[in-house]
Structure 1
Amino acid sequence: MPENTGQQRKVIADAVVSMDGYTSTGPDDDMSWAMQHISSEQSELMYEGIWRGVSTALVGRVNWEGFTAVWPGLTSDPNSSARTRDLGNWLATVEKVVISTTLQQADLDKTQWSNARVSRDLEEEVRSLKGAPGRDILVINSASIIKALLQADLIDELHMAVMPATLGGGVRLLPDGLTSTWQLSHATTIPATGAVILCYRRP
């Protein structure tokens, strides 16, 4: 891990969200409503611009189990794009902190991914990571973690890819009752998929 330059590490939250504010329809969501965007070349390019500046990834139990079931196959598939394979290799080796009250370290060690550990206390973990050496910290599409960190005022950048779809219910990204102010860093559209990318920073 690179030496700390004296600046505190940023916590970046990245999520795919529907027009009506949901990140998924629930535990069995297959993400088909967002796959055209997720698999697009433009999306891969933009996401690469985020993860290459990150040295720690935060995920919850559901995403951990989903990612480790799917990504090793994508990474080894010769039909996957070069950027997909690069991302898969990064996910497999980057420092990963899995926030869970039920998973054990032995559960993580059973997967093909390395450099992962369980943490029980999200806020304490993030405060410690922000003060430690390294590049930025990325929360990967885990709504429960993003909600908790927003309420604790521990997110520095919030990236939302808004899909041209409504889900009508499911898991919301933003917590009820949260009051906060953000500055728009940049916004872009992906005409091929209809997605709008919004990137906000805390002032």
Structure 2
Amino acid sequence: MSNRTARKVTANIGLTLDGRYHGAGGPGDMGAIVPYAVTDVARDHLARIHEGKTTAVFGRGNALGFVGYWSSVAEDENADPRDRGYAQWLMGAEKVVFSTTLTEAPWKRTRVVKGSVGGVIRDLKADGSHGDILVNTAPSILKPLLAADLVDRLYLMICPEIAGGGERLFEDGLPASAWELISQETGKTGELALVYDRVR
């Protein structure tokens, strides 16, 4: 299959000013990110990230909390329409969950995969399906994809706080790459919604 018709691999994640996706307290320490996830800019950003995507990719850890939360939003008539739109897309999309411990997925339209991240994503990218792939706030998947230079678009929410500890997304040793800024929006509390495309 030619690169022209291959599916694009996209990813979304929120980061602090010091490039961390959680604080020093571990994966549950989201105090520097969560307050900015409910702003208008963040919700507008959320409404954009799933356009043209048909496959949602997760790691086991983020899938367990993520899919459960959004399944309730999908049915909540009082939810913000942007949140509900994303939730309904997620429930209807093909979902791929990387896990070595789950034997079957607890959600509809979901399959559990083992294998290497790069190999599975390359297969998804070239499988001829309609629509692109979205890696959903899954650093365990996104990091190896960045290392393999397999990401075509990054949706970043930059939160105006320094966490001072916790895991960083962009670690030393990544291959050098150039990115084009496609869109940017600034919120009232200083959060930035950025979309970058990989220049190839």
TM-score, normalisation: structure 1 = 0.87
Alignment match, 1:8? 6
Distance 1:159 1:82, change over 3 A: closer
The structure with the largest helix share of the pair is 1
Distance 1:86 1:200, change over 3 A: closer
Q: How many residues align?
A: 194
- Determine which of 138, 155, 172 is the counterpart of 2:151: 155
Matching of residue 126 in structure 1 with residue 121 in structure 2: yes
> How far off is 1:125 after superposition?
1.1
Matching of residue 143 in structure 1 with residue 142 in structure 2: no
> How far off is 1:82 after superposition?
1.6
Aligned mates of 1:190, 1:98 — CA distance in 2:
32
Which of structure 1's runs of 4+ aligned residues deviate more than 3 A? Answer: none
Alignment match, 1:19? 17
Aligned mates of 1:115, 1:188 — CA distance in 2:
33
Distance 1:179 1:152, change over 3 A: closer
> How far off is 1:36 after superposition?
3.2
Q: Report the secondary structure of 1:172's partner residue.
A: coil
Distance 1:35 1:200, change over 3 A: same
What's the % identity of the aligned pairs?
A: 35
Aligned mates of 1:171, 1:75 — CA distance in 2:
30
Deviations 1:8-41 (A, max 9, x none): 1110111100001111122323x33223321123
Gaps of at least 5 residues in structure 2 are none
- Determine which of 172, 193, 196 is the counterpart of 2:192: 196
Confirm or deny: 8 A CA contact 1:182 1:200 kept in the other structure.
no
Confirm or deny: 8 A CA contact 1:184 1:198 kept in the other structure.
no
Matching of residue 90 in structure 1 with residue 89 in structure 2: yes
Aligned mates of 2:195, 2:181 — CA distance in 1:
5
TM-score, normalisation: structure 2 = 0.88
Partner amino acid, structure 1, of 2:45: M
Deviations 1:133-171 (A, max 9, x none): 221101111111111001111111122211001111112
Confirm or deny: 8 A CA contact 2:70 2:87 kept in the other structure.
yes
Confirm or deny: 8 A CA contact 2:60 2:98 kept in the other structure.
yes
> How far off is 1:192 after superposition?
1.7
Supply the RMSD in Å over aligned alpha carbons: 2.0
Gaps of at least 5 residues in structure 1 are 1-5
